[in-house]
């Protein structure tokens, strides 16, 4: 199955303020009918990068079978980690970026690697706040979640 995934994260007062993630999943069935699913959630205290990662994770977790995915994000942090092979280097260096700098958000990077494994993903960067319809939609989902009630605790924030 071929799927398009669009994601965005937001944090107010980054780092360490409220934040949220937003994702849109699109797929077309055998008859040509297009289906969409929106995902979002908010956290009391978090960072923008954590929300960017969580948006991708939540979208991939929503898929119930291996897919071919075009994934779109305005996060250079996420996209370059895969396209420029940062993630492989981090893993080989035991999640270090040179001594003694530990990679941030290891918990989410490991979770992302796990949920990405069954899929064939093409990682696409889009310029944020530049009128890309799905990116703008994800931004609205993420910021609404950050500004909303019922905010969760981010276990990665101490």
- The total number of structural domains in the chain stands at 1
Asked, for residue 24, whether it belongs to a domain, the answer is: yes
Domain range enclosing 107: 2-147
- For residue 154, indicate whether it is catalytic: no
Tokens 């960067």 label which residue? Answer: 125
Q: CB–CB of 22/8 below 8 Å?
A: yes
- For residue 107, indicate whether it is catalytic: no
User: For the whole model, what pTM was predicted?
Assistant: 0.96
- Selecting among 13, 88, 129, 147, the annotated active-site residue is 129
Q: Give pLDDT < 50 ranges for the chain.
A: none
From the list 129, 98, 108, the residue with the least C-alpha distance to 49 is 108
Asked, for residue 11, whether it belongs to a domain, the answer is: yes
- Selecting among 20, 22, 41, 52, the annotated active-site residue is 52
Classify strands 2-11 and 68-73 as parallel, antiparallel or unpaired.
Answer: parallel
Asked, for residue 157, whether it belongs to a domain, the answer is: no
Q: How far is the C-alpha of 95 from the C-alpha of 43, rounded, in Å?
A: 25
Q: How far is the C-alpha of 94 from the C-alpha of 43, rounded, in Å?
A: 28
CATH number assigned to the domain comprising residue 111: 3.30.420.10
- For residue 8, indicate whether it is catalytic: yes
- For residue 139, indicate whether it is catalytic: yes
Q: Under 8 Å CB-to-CB from 140, ≥6 apart: which residues?
A: 22
Task: Output the known binding site for Mg(2+).
Answer: 8, 52, 74, 139
- Selecting among 9, 19, 22, 42, the annotated active-site residue is 9
- Selecting among 20, 42, 139, 154, the annotated active-site residue is 139
């Amino acid at each position: 199955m071929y799927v398009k995934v669009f994601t965005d994260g937001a944090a107010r007062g980054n780092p360490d303020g409220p934040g949220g993630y937003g994702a849109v999943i699109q797929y077309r069935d055998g008859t040509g009918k297009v289906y969409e699913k929106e995902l979002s959630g908010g956290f009391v205290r978090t960072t923008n990068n954590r929300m960017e990662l969580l948006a991708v994770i939540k979208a991939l977790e929503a898929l119930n079978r291996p897919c071919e995915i075009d994934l779109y994000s305005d996060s250079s942090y996420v996209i370059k980690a895969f396209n420029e092979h940062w993630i492989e280097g981090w893993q080989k260096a035991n999640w270090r970026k040179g001594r003694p700098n530990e990679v941030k958000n290891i918990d989410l990077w490991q979770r992302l690697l796990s949920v990405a494994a069954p899929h064939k993903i093409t990682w696409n960067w889009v310029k944020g706040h530049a009128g890309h319809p799905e990116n703008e939609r994800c931004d609205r989902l993420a910021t609404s979640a950050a500004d909303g009630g019922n905010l969760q605790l981010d276990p990665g924030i101490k």
